[in-house]
Amino acid sequence: MNISLTLILCAVLVSVAVADEFHKGGVGTCSVCHVIHTLADGNPVVPTADNNYLLRENTPSDLCLSCHATSNGAVWSNNPLVPAPQRGAGNFIFEQAANLNDAPDGAQHPLSGGHGVHNCVAPSQNSDVDPVHDVAPGGSYPSKYLGCTSCHDPHGNTNFRMLWGVGHIPAGDFTFMYSAPYADGTPLDSAAESRTLHTAYHSGWTNWCRNCHGLYHADGSQGFEHPVDGPLTGHTRVSYELYDGSGNPTGGIPQQSYLPEVPFESRTVTINSTNGPEMQSRIACITCHRAHGSSAVDLGRWDFRVANLRLDGSPSGSYPIPNPYTSGTIERSLCVKCHEQDTRTHGFTQACIECHREETLVREKLDPARPVRSIK
The number of folded domains in the chain is 1
pLDDT at residue number 49: 82
Specify the length of the chain in residues: 376
Identity of the amino acid at 121: V
DSSP state for residue 55 in the 8-state scheme: B
Q: How far apart are CA 55 and CA 11, in angstroms?
A: 20
35 part of a folded domain: yes
Query: Is the model more confident about 37 or about 165?
Result: 165
325 part of a folded domain: no
Percent of the chain residues past pLDDT 70, beyond the cut: 87
pLDDT at 284 > cutoff 50? yes
129 part of a folded domain: no
pLDDT at 37 > cutoff 90? no
pLDDT at residue number 28: 61
Beta carbons within 8 Å of 57's beta carbon, 6+ residues apart: 63, 66, 124
pLDDT at residue number 358: 64
271 part of a folded domain: no
- 327: pLDDT confidence band, cut at 50, 70 and 90? confident
pLDDT at residue number 294: 97
> Left if phi > 0, otherwise alpha if psi is -120 to 50, otherwise beta: which for 90?
left
pLDDT at 14 > cutoff 80? no
Contact 299, 100 (CB under 8 A): no
pLDDT at residue number 362: 43
Q: What is the mean pLDDT of the chain?
A: 87
Lowest average pLDDT, out of 66-75, 173-182, 345-354, goes to 345-354
- 334: pLDDT confidence band, cut at 50, 70 and 90? very high
pLDDT at 339 > cutoff 50? yes
33 part of a folded domain: yes
pLDDT at residue number 361: 45
36 part of a folded domain: yes
Contact 78, 189 (CB under 8 A): no
pLDDT tens across 134-183, in order? Answer: 999 999 999 999 999 999 999 889 999 999 999 999 999 999 999 999 99
Lowest average pLDDT, out of 3-7, 45-49, 352-356, goes to 3-7
**At CB < 8 A and 24+ separation, what contacts does 336-344 make?**
336/239, 336/243, 336/246, 336/249, 337/239, 337/240, 337/243, 337/259, 337/262, 338/232, 338/236, 338/239, 338/240, 338/262, 339/236, 339/239, 340/239, 340/242, 340/243, 340/249, 340/250, 341/235, 341/238, 341/239
H or E element that contains 110:
none
Q: How far apart are CA 96 and CA 112, in angstroms?
A: 8
Mean pLDDT of 121-133: 93
Mean pLDDT of 106-114: 94
pLDDT at residue number 76: 95
Mean pLDDT of 102-115: 94
Mean pLDDT of 184-195: 94
Contact 354, 361 (CB under 8 A): no
Mean pLDDT of 213-238: 90
- 22: pLDDT confidence band, cut at 50, 70 and 90? low
Range of the domain at 47: 20-56
41 part of a folded domain: yes
74 part of a folded domain: no
pLDDT at 368 > cutoff 50? no
